[in-house]
Amino acid sequence: MAPSDINHLSHPCIYGDYVSSHPERKSGFMKWLSKLFKGGSNRPRSGRHHVHDPDEESISWRAPSRASDDRARAQKEKEDLGHAVSLATAEDLKRPNGYRWGETTDEDYEKALHGALNSSAHPPYAPAPFYPNEYRRICSGCNQEIIYGNCLGCMDSYFHPDCFCCHSCGQPITEREFSLSGKHPYHKSCFKELTHPKCEVCFQFIPINAAGLIEYRCHPFWSQKYCPSHEYDNTYRCCSCERLEPRNTKYYRLEDGRSLCLECMESAIMDTGDCQPLYHSIRDYYEGIHMRIDQQVPMLLVEREALNDAIVGEKNGFHHLPETRGLCLSEEQTVTSIHRRPRIGGHRFIGMRTQPQKLTRKCEVTAILVLYGLPRLLTGAILAHELMHAWLRLKGYRNLNPEVEEGICQVLSFMWLESEVMPTNFQSMPSTSTASSSSSSKKGAKSHVENKLGEFFKNQIANDSSPAYGGGFRAANEAVIKYGLRSTLEHIRLTGFFPV
């Protein structure tokens, strides 16, 4: 709805009684007739009697004989009636234009006089209201003529009060102010309900700021609109999809303080044993694109604190901020992993069992650590990224700058997500078609919710703002699309940079 089409009318609507003033135009003539009849009722029974009016012509009648019968009296009254009509017509012709009595005919006056002369038990004849066409008012709501009672005038139209209705709720508008969009009137409350955005967290109208503008935040992928205050009022945010917790929904609380929405909870992986099938399927994906990893690299699911401790003990590597979700270890460490998944108690996970595990270095890669409690597709994307770190180290890629190493690892993570979310061949990356076919044939169809989450994780990779992860991915992806994955990796091995 274009802003230029919206008006807020604050002037009062016009209410009033609609009546015709045409009968007043005949009042002069009827007054003259009443004088005429009054004089006729007091005339003498014999001789001649003249009735004089200072403003009108003199009229004379001959008194009828006492011996005349009823027929003679009737004939005389008819002659008097004709004479009166003739005088009335002559008087009308003397009036200036605009002061005449409308379109009433001589027959109408004759009937009026005849009724007054022949009926003494009833009041003088009163004609029905006369409404010229130019004064007729048609209701724009029901298209019927407005005859009696109140009428309402607005928008250059007239309405019965009950016909001026809100375009949204259909109820009559009785307030003195209303909103107008195009040609449709609305209650101000109904119009606000239709056009003013509501917060999708607290479900209240988003408040207007000091400048008189509606200010809100909107998630770039989910389009979740919310009040700016919810970014710092301790409203929970899903650690996976980043959506804020609505007031009518309860997120699940993990023991390390993170929150998980219901949709991400459906496919969340909670312990190391649950993650093993996914880990092996991603190793199969690497083998399908001719990047086999021969060494058996341990994989552990850990809590946030254990992952942060491992990052501190790791000498090499570049870590994604503000939170790292995975790590490819090269040093020997003792790591506390999740041995048994927690159980649900209300909207919290409780009773999780952990165990310390000493990791010894048998090759260039000691282990792969992944944060627990994330949905399957996000966990798999992290594993695909960390396995690419392992592949590079095991194949002798040394001393790569962060943009190159993290960028090519993000490309493999993105490619795996493509194979999961879009089972068909990825047209822009011909080298991944074999892996896409082999991996997708082992999985059933994804739900709409899981596919949407996969699209979100791909969007996060493609639009990452960090120079190493975001900028590196875009440069690496452009090279892979242009030259293919194998040629790009060979160029990195020889030069340490992406081909251009």
- In 171-287, at which residue ranges do the beta strands (DSSP E only) sit? 178-181, 184-186, 217-218, 225-226, 252-253, 259-260, 268-269
Domain final residue pick, 195, 217, 247: 195
| DSSP-based three-state secondary structure for 76 | helix
Tokens of 125: 């004849």
Do 374 and 269 contact (CB within 8 A), yes or no?
yes
- Does residue 93 lie in a domain region? no
Packing angle of the helix pair 376-394, 448-462 (nearest 10 deg): 40
Answer whether residue 206 is part of any domain.
no
Boundary-marking domain end, from 195, 227, 251: 195
Residue 86 lies in a domain: no
What pLDDT, in 10s, does the model give residues 226-266? Answer: 999 999 999 999 999 999 999 989 899 998 889 999 999 99
Backbone angles phi, psi at 8, to 5 degrees: -115, 105
What's the helix, strand, coil split of the chain in %, to 5?
40, 20, 40
Q: Does the residue 110 lie in any domain?
A: no
Domain shared by 180 and 299, yes or no: no
Asked if residue 404 and residue 286 are part of one domain, the reply reads yes
If asked whether residues 456 and 337 sit together in one domain, one would say yes
327 forms beta bridges with 369
* pLDDT tens series, the chain, 500 aa: 444 444 455 433 444 444 444 444 444 445 555 555 554 444 444 433 343 343 433 333 344 444 445 566 667 666 766 666 566 555 555 554 444 444 445 555 555 555 544 544 444 444 445 455 556 788 888 988 888 778 888 878 888 888 999 999 999 988 888 888 888 899 988 988 888 889 999 999 999 888 888 899 999 999 999 999 999 999 999 999 999 999 989 899 998 889 999 999 999 999 899 999 999 999 999 999 999 998 889 999 999 888 888 888 776 666 665 678 999 988 878 888 876 777 777 677 776 777 787 877 777 899 999 999 999 999 999 999 999 999 999 999 988 999 999 999 999 999 999 999 865 444 344 444 334 333 433 445 678 899 999 999 999 999 999 999 999 999 999 999 999 999 999 999 999 999 98
User: Is 85 part of any domain?
Assistant: no
Range of the domain at 190: 152-195
**Are 281 and 409 members of one domain?**
yes
Q: For 368-403, how does the pLDDT look when each residue is reduced to its tens digit (9 = 90+)?
A: 999 999 999 999 999 999 999 999 999 999 889 999
Distances (CA, A) of 214 to 135, 186, 219, 223, 231: 47, 21, 16, 16, 16
Overall pTM surpassing 0.75 (yes/no): no
Please check whether residues 397 and 485 belong to one and the same domain: yes
- The answer as to whether 405 is a domain residue is yes
In a domain, residue 476? The reply is yes
For residue 6, what are the β-bridge partners? 181
Task: Identify whether residues 165 and 308 lie together within a single domain.
Answer: no
Here the tokens at position 485 are: 């994955």
Mark which of 141, 169, 195 sits at the end of a domain.
Answer: 195
The domain total for the chain is 2
Residue whose token pair is 């460490």: 333
